[in-house]
Amino acid sequence: MLAKVRSSVFQPMSGPVLVDGLGVPRYWAAVWASLLPGDLAPSTVSRKLSQLEAFYHHADEALGIGRLDDALAGLDVDAICSALEAYFLTLRSRPVTPATEERWQAALQFVTETSQRLTRGSLTREHHDALSGRLMQIELLNAHLHVGRRRRPERIRSLPAEIVEALYESLDPESPINPFRSVDSRWRVYTIFMLLLHQGLRRGELLSFPVDVIKSGFDRNRQQVRYWMTVRYNEYQDEDPRYSKPSIKNAPSIRQIPVSKPTALLIQEYVTNYRGKPDHSFLINSQKQSPLSTEGVTKLFQKITDSLPKQLRKTLIDHTGDDSISPHDLRHTCAVVRLNQLLSSGVEMADALERMRAFFGWSRGSDMPLRYARAVFEDRLASVWNCAFDDRVDVLRNIPERLK
């Protein structure tokens, strides 16, 4: 409950204070309130504390009376986050109203700001990262509690696992259900599919690649050959005959990204045996021996979509809200899987998001990593492909090792 306290010894305690059933002030709530902006009206401070009171009552039941303040003082990550998660589930089980949102935001703000102040200079980096990562996960998981201005729900168009599995099977160049007739077309489409899905490329980036995009070198630390590709502006733009010349999005898109050995071998196989010998320097070639256009890629993906069984088409609509697969859907899927891999391997959330920015070419101020972080915690996406992403397809194992 709220109480009025007047203290000549400790001035910040003067004014509205949150107290427990015995009239004892809630310690960290009092500290938090005293550090709110000084120009807030007393009524505003009282309202914020009233919103926080429900969280304290819930924590008393979940952790024990007074244990929330103890957990904050000791920076008990598990206890703090368990209290927040349980409180969210309780709020979500009721009709969501503006008051519900305010209570949740007050609890999250209180725990986040208090923890941040306590961790400054008093924790190891490992402990600090663990707490920050857990709080970020809670904020991302529960972001949909926001009930402000109504807007169309935002969907991350990551493909569900069953559709990706079907694409792996049907686009295998040797598959009997491959929708493309000629062997050259099959290898071209399969190479496009693998690069978009495994490297998370934009369509314009893919179509700008030169034929020698894959580079290699010996890594002395790992004692093995390492492969990579560099995403850059169209270096052959002056000789590009396409009407709609592909390009990369912006300066942060210029980047160097690692390539797995199977993917590197796949590209070499395509270049050596199925690309043909056109008079241009671009990696992806069309049936007419010219650089593949953006319109050509769109037509390929329409054919891929049309070849899906009806049940998977329904799954696609239910999951993405659209009835067709686009090249960018594979980039979305790659982002969700890559982030899930990083987190599963023990990388902290903040570090994982920075790695994502570098891999996918997002600017420092972009909110795209956070959007994918929300998606990766959905149960359906967090459980995709237990096997190694870069070694998924059996056909890759049969490609001759021509790269040394």
Same domain, 123 and 27: yes
What pLDDT shows up at residue 344?
Answer: 76
How far is the C-alpha of 396 from the C-alpha of 400, rounded, in Å?
9
Residue 154 domain flag: no
3-state secondary structure of 17: strand
What pLDDT shows up at residue 136?
Answer: 64
How far is the C-alpha of 44 from the C-alpha of 225, rounded, in Å?
62
Same domain, 211 and 125: no
Domain boundary among 92, 121, 145: 145
Residue 155 domain flag: no
Q: Where are the alpha helices (DSSP H) in 9-76?
A: 27-34, 42-63, 67-73
Same domain, 110 and 172: no
Q: CA 115, 120, 124, 129 torsion: positive or negative?
A: positive
Residue 341 domain flag: yes
Residue 339 domain flag: yes
CB 54 within 8 A of CB 83: no
Same domain, 135 and 207: no
Burial 106-130 (b: 16+ CB within 10 A, else e): bbbebbbebbeebbeeeeeeeebbb
What pLDDT shows up at residue 274?
Answer: 93
> Rg for the chain (alpha carbons), in Å?
27
Same domain, 61 and 110: yes
How far is the C-alpha of 376 from the C-alpha of 120, rounded, in Å?
29
Q: What's phi and psi for 100, nearest 5 deg? A: -60, -45
Same domain, 232 and 338: yes
DSSP letter at 234?
Answer: -
Kind and range of the H or E element at 2? strand 2-5
Residue-by-residue pLDDT tens, the chain, 404 positions: 565 555 444 444 556 788 877 778 888 888 888 887 766 677 778 888 888 888 888 888 888 888 888 888 887 878 888 888 888 878 877 776 778 878 888 888 888 888 777 766 555 556 656 666 666 666 555 554 444 444 444 556 788 888 988 999 999 999 999 999 999 999 999 999 999 999 999 999 999 999 999 999 988 888 889 999 999 887 777 788 888 788 777 777 889 999 999 899 999 999 999 999 998 989 999 988 999 999 999 999 999 999 999 999 998 888 878 889 999 999 988 888 888 888 778 887 778 888 888 899 887 767 777 777 666 655 444 444 444 455 554 444 444 443 33
3-state secondary structure of 294: helix
Same domain, 106 and 175: no
What pLDDT shows up at residue 126?
Answer: 60
Residue 76 domain flag: yes
Overall domain count for the chain: 2
- Which of 267, 208, 278, 200 is CA-nearest to residue 236? 208
Residue 404 domain flag: no
Same domain, 170 and 93: no
How far is the C-alpha of 241 from the C-alpha of 280, rounded, in Å?
9
Same domain, 237 and 357: yes
Question: What's the CA angle centered on 292, arms 303 and 237, to 5 degrees?
Answer: 150
3-state secondary structure of 114: helix
Domain boundary among 104, 119, 145: 145
Same domain, 171 and 277: yes
Show the domain range for 45.
2-145
Q: Which two tokens stand for residue 53?
A: 């009171």
> How many alpha carbons lie under 13 Å from residue 372 in its C-beta half-sphere?
30
Residue 238 domain flag: yes
What pLDDT shows up at residue 275?
Answer: 93
- Which of 60, 54, 57, 56 is CA-nearest to residue 103? 54
Neighbours of 307 (CB within 10 A): 16
Same domain, 206 and 313: yes
Domain boundary among 113, 145, 177: 145
DSSP letter at 65?
Answer: T
Same domain, 136 and 170: no
Residue 151 domain flag: no
> What CATH number is given to the structural domain containing 217?
1.10.443.10
